[in-house]
Amino acid sequence: ESEADAHDEL
Amino acid sequence: MNIFRILGDISHLISILILIHAVSTTKSAQGISLKTQAAYVVVFVSRYLDLFFRYVSLYNTLMKLFFIVSSIYVVFLLNRYKKNSEKTNDIFPVWYLFGGAFVFALIFNYEFSIVEILWSFSLWLESVAIIPQLVVLQRTGEAQLLTTHYIFALGLYRALYIPNWIYRYYTEGRMDKIAVISGILQTIVYSDFFYIYYKKVVKNLKFKLP
C-alpha cells in the first residue's frame, strides 16, 4: 500500500 | 483509531457546531472571517474527493460529508447575516494563502496526479486558513467569547492529531510526512492564539470560581 492509498484521516 | 484522533475529530466537530450556534443565535456575522470560512470549503472539497472512489469506513464517510456540508452552510449563513454597511476587518489577502498552498502541493505530494496534488493542497491551505480569522480578531480587539472558543476548538483538533501521529508511528510504523509537517505548521500558526486564549479565558474562568 502506497502512502497515497493510505489517506484514512480527516 | 486512538484516543487522540477521536478527541481531535470531536474537537473539530464541536468547533463547527459552536460557530453555527454563534452565528445563528446572534444573527450576525460580525467578528467571523468569511475568507477563512470560504477557504475551509475549498479545503474539504479538495481533500475529500476520494469519497467517490475510496471507502475507508462509515465513520470516515459521514465525517467527510459533515465537514463539506457544514462548511458550505457556514458560508451561506455568513452571507445571509453580513451587513454591507459594516466596516470590514476581513482584509487579509487570502489569495497568497491559496497560491502558496498550491505551490507547496506541486512540490510535496505522494503522486503527481490531480487528486493527490489537491489532497496535498488542502492540507497546506488548511494549515494557514485561520490567518484571516486571526487578523479579524486582532483588528476587532475584543472578540465574542464564542468566537474565541470556536478558534480554540478548531486549533485543538490539529494539535491533537500530533500525538495521534506519534502513536500511529510507534504502533503501525506509519508516518504521513505531508500531513505531519503541515499539521505542525498549523499548530504553530495557532500557538500565539493558544497563549492568549490561555491567559484570557482559562485564567478568567478560574478567577471567577467561588
Nearest to B110 among A2, A9, A10 (CB): A2
What is the per-residue pLDDT across B156-205, written as a single tens digit (0 to 9) for each? 999 999 999 999 999 999 899 999 999 999 999 999 899 988 888 877 77
Contact B46, B121 (CB under 8 A): yes
Q: Which residues of B touch A9 (CB under 8 A)?
A: 5, 161, 164, 176, 179
B69's CB contacts (< 8 A; 6+ apart) are none
- CA-CA-CA-CA torsion for B86, B92, B95, B98, nearest 10 degrees? -120
For residue B127, name the pLDDT band (cuts at 50, 70, 90): very high
Supply the angle between the helices B58-81 and B3-26 in degrees, to the nearest 10: 20
Q: Which residues of B touch A3 (CB under 8 A)?
A: 110, 176-177
What is the per-residue pLDDT across A1-10, written as a single tens digit (0 to 9) for each? 566 667 999 9
Q: Which residues of A touch B60 (CB under 8 A)?
A: 8, 10
Q: How many CA atoms lie within 13 A of B150 on its CB side?
A: 23
Contact B136, B32 (CB under 8 A): yes
Instruction: Please provide the average confidence, as pLDDT, over all residues in chain B.
Output: 93
Question: What's the complex ipTM?
Answer: 0.83
